[in-house]
Chain A
Amino acid sequence: MKKKNLAALLLAGAMCFGLLAGCSSSADSTNPPASDPGSQATQPAETGDVGGTGEGVTIKIGGIGPLTGPNAQYGIATRQGAEIAIEEINALGGIQFELNSQDDEANGEKGVNAYNNLMDWGMQILYGCTTSGSCAAVAAESYNDRVFQLTPSASSTTVTDGHDNVFQLCFTDPNQGKTAANFISEHKLATKVAVIYNNSDDYSTGIYQGFKEAAEGLGLEIVSTTTFPEDTTTDFSAQITDAYNKGAEMIFLPIYYTPASNILIQASQKGYEFSYFGCDGLDGILTLEGFDTSLAENVYVLTPFDTTSDAAKSFIEKYKAATGTEPNQFAADGYDCMYALYEACKKANITDGMGYAEVCEALIAVFTDSGFSVDGLTGSGMQWGTNGEVAKDPLIVQIVNGAYVNQ
């Protein structure tokens, strides 16, 4: 058997080296040596435009997010939202954006691979990653290389900690937890709260920790804390029953909408009545195909996505036309990221002749400038501090008759 394997393996080996060679040769033709940082994307544009006055400037944006695997729906939503924004921006005629989206399977190693791939492509600005875990690994790389990075939805503080080049469009996890706790206590929604969170996910754990800290000072009693691991988003009976037995009035759900929909269904089957409060990951529960939205009636969602504005309505229409589904908060974040980058690029006079390091310093200066603010679907007057966190008003909505009503 081993003898026979030899031949096949030689073939495999040959293919393998062929691939290696393929990688390097394709890189050769498009790139200067990688040992020369900052010189990326210095080839003159084909149009012969050199002045960079904004006419015909094409800026290369690299996008990273999970496009396959269990988290694919979140990555695809952020990509789709960004693509809609780019279509609009490019139609304006000024600065043109070109987005190259790469898959990271929500995994740090693949994220760094995707990042390197995009660097070979000549990325000037990095848009991503969608998930925090991958983003933390990529942020360290982009910080070393000096690539400007704006993430739509990686809300962990590790993403921005110590990385002056990384900015978030979403609230940080601890912040969401605190805002939620404040809202619940201010509006006297409940005094006894149960929490169900995903303990293999840093997004979920981060919000829970922020929530717990804030709740202690506010007199909110967390009567039941239960978790579930990744993948087993199936049976929640033990978690729900525990919350019920401990007399919880409200369940706080710092989790994504897919497992949350399971919790709502299973609680209703058991005949337990709770009120629910979720964070931005829960936005999207109304767009689930086949979901009985009456189960989500009265659920509070801390989401930045205001679906009632005119801009949002036009976005929703375009998104539906492109995908056939309603957009969620992830898509809106992606859309806003592109407009934030657009505004910043205009202000900083970014041209396609600039290397990524130059672009990075220029954009950092703009983003941290107190005069720079962006109005988008997920908030108006969004501003950024030097720590990369976004400052915008949190929006809390309640689901009434299957639609969001701003609170």
Chain B
Amino acid sequence: MMTFLTNLVSGISLGSVYAIIALGYTMVYGIAKMLNFAHGDVIMVGAYISFCTTSYLALPAWVSVIFAIVVCTALGVVIEGLAYKPLRQAGSLAVLITAIGVSYFLQNAAQLIWTSNTKVFTSVVGSGSIKLFNGQLTITVAALVTVAACIIIMVALTLFTTTTKMGKAMRACSEDKGAAQLMGINVNRTISMTFAIGSALAAIAGVLLCSSYNTLIPTTGAMPGIKAFTAAVFGGIGSIPGALLGGILLGIIEVFTNSYLSSELSLAIVFGVLIVVLLVRPSGLLGKYVPEKV
């Protein structure tokens, strides 16, 4: 029983990291209709910025988080302006390939700037933990903060997209760009704004990812990026609560597979479950079913 709880806690904390990344993915996908493969690498940049601020400039952790958010937001807007905006009229696949190019670029630039040596990230919320049931169950503060951040971000994003003018403009763009433009919405600006928000989320995700799982190398963002993309699809891509649900479920499935089934085949089993779910619910758990029209 205790093992089960321990695994559940680990699963949720891993899942909430996936969820935060997936929220960024889903935001960008929902509005720009593009798979931003460079999202994982923006996460890595965020983590490096935070690492450098605390280690080299000896600034407090909260400053490093703000600094990471600022840098990543700027980076996101620059990437969008230079690499994605010129391709607005081209097919979505062309943008996908450019995003892959950006991803290679960020990884290699990071290696040149910060070297390939592993950095061990010190948790921005301290390495404390809470012990329950006579110390049989341990929950790290980093995990608690991640789960809390995840829920706060989800609520904030939902409120933002439903109540603010900018948020409504984003939803309009995601429904129909042409119609949105006719209604006087500046589509280009809205998309840039989405990238800014997505990248800010990536910075937070990077800091929290590395607070929970401490090693940082230039390819740190790649696999969590792919897993989070999977989580976003799992939950129903474009859906904000779906990203949260998908991320957390993916984390739980992964940890449970590792402990109860087979760690050798864990990737196969995790992806197998994903496939089965998608076959039963072809637009993800909370995705909208859009009937096709001729």
Question: Which A residues form the contact surface with B (CB < 8 A)?
Answer: 1, 68-70, 72-73, 76, 199, 226-229, 231-235, 237-239, 241-242, 245, 257-259, 261-262, 265-266, 269-271, 288-292, 325
**From A70, A199, A226, contact of B217 by CB (8 A):** A70
Q: Are B214 and A226 in contact (CB under 8 A)?
A: no
Q: Are B214 and A227 in contact (CB under 8 A)?
A: no
Per-residue interface assignment for chain B, residues 154 to 179, with 1 indicating a CB less than 8 Å from any chain A CB and 0 otherwise = 00000000000000000000000000
Q: Are B111 and A68 in contact (CB under 8 A)?
A: yes
In angstroms, how far is the closest chain A Cβ from the Cβ of B93?
11
A–B complex contacts, Cβ < 8 Å, 9 sampled: A231-B223, A241-B259, A258-B217, A261-B214, A271-B129, A271-B131, A289-B118, A290-B51, A290-B120
Which 5 A-B pairs rank lowest in CB-CB distance, beginning with the nearest? A238-B258, A237-B10, A72-B116, A231-B223, A234-B213
**From B14, B215, B219, B267, contact of A259 by CB (8 A):** B215
How many B residues, CB 8 Å from partner?
47
Number of A-B pairs whose CB atoms are under 8 Å? 118
**From B6, B138, B217, B223, contact of A73 by CB (8 A):** B217
Q: Are B214 and A73 in contact (CB under 8 A)?
A: no
B14: chain A residues at CB < 8 Å are 234-235, 237
B121: chain A residues at CB < 8 Å are 290
A237: chain B residues at CB < 8 Å are 6-7, 10, 14, 255
Which residue on chain A has the smallest CB distance to residue B219? A70
Q: Are A242 and B259 in contact (CB under 8 A)?
A: yes
In angstroms, how far is the closest chain A Cβ from the Cβ of B120?
4
Given contacts A237-B7, A238-B258, contact A69 B219 (CB under 8 A): yes
**From B115, B116, B127, B219, contact of A269 by CB (8 A):** B127
Q: Cβ of B283 < 8 Å from any Cβ of A?
A: no
Q: Are B118 and A257 in contact (CB under 8 A)?
A: yes
Q: Are A238 and B119 in contact (CB under 8 A)?
A: no
Q: Cβ of B266 < 8 Å from any Cβ of A?
A: yes
Which residue on chain B has the smallest CB distance to residue A225? B263
Q: Are A271 and B120 in contact (CB under 8 A)?
A: no
Q: Are B119 and A288 in contact (CB under 8 A)?
A: yes
Q: Are B263 and A239 in contact (CB under 8 A)?
A: yes
Q: Are A271 and B215 in contact (CB under 8 A)?
A: no
A73: chain B residues at CB < 8 Å are 115-118, 217
B292: chain A residues at CB < 8 Å are none
Per-residue interface assignment for chain B, residues 211 to 231, with 1 indicating a CB less than 8 Å from any chain A CB and 0 otherwise = 011110111001110010000
B127: chain A residues at CB < 8 Å are 269
Which residue on chain B has the smallest CB distance to residue A328? B117
Q: Are B10 and A290 in contact (CB under 8 A)?
A: no
Given contacts A234-B213, A291-B120, contact A239 B267 (CB under 8 A): no
A235: chain B residues at CB < 8 Å are 10, 14, 213, 251, 254-255
Q: Are A233 and B215 in contact (CB under 8 A)?
A: yes
Which residue on chain B has the smallest CB distance to residue A75? B116
A288–B217 alpha-carbon span in the complex (Å)? 11
Interface contacts beyond A1-B90, A231-B219, A231-B222: sample of 4 additional A-B pairs, CB < 8 Å, sorted by A:
A228-B266, A238-B259, A239-B258, A290-B119
A269–B263 alpha-carbon span in the complex (Å)? 22
Per-residue interface assignment for chain B, residues 196 to 214, with 1 indicating a CB less than 8 Å from any chain A CB and 0 otherwise = 0000000000000100111
Q: Cβ of B188 < 8 Å from any Cβ of A?
A: no
**From A68, A229, A271, contact of B108 by CB (8 A):** A68
Given contacts A229-B266, A237-B6, A289-B117, contact A270 B215 (CB under 8 A): no
A1–B87 alpha-carbon span in the complex (Å)? 13
In angstroms, how far is the closest chain B Cβ from the Cβ of A174?
19
In angstroms, how far is the closest chain A Cβ from the Cβ of B276?
20
Which residue on chain B has the smallest CB distance to residue A242? B259
Given contacts A68-B111, A245-B3, A290-B121, contact A238 B116 (CB under 8 A): no
B55: chain A residues at CB < 8 Å are 289-290
Which residue on chain A has the smallest CB distance to residue B141? A269
B108: chain A residues at CB < 8 Å are 68
A261–B215 alpha-carbon span in the complex (Å)? 8
A146–B251 alpha-carbon span in the complex (Å)? 50
A325: chain B residues at CB < 8 Å are 115, 117
A64–B55 alpha-carbon span in the complex (Å)? 33
Given contacts A72-B111, A289-B119, contact A238 B214 (CB under 8 A): no
In angstroms, how far is the closest chain A Cβ from the Cβ of B214?
5
Q: Are A234 and B116 in contact (CB under 8 A)?
A: no
In angstroms, how far is the closest chain A Cβ from the Cβ of B127?
7
A242: chain B residues at CB < 8 Å are 259
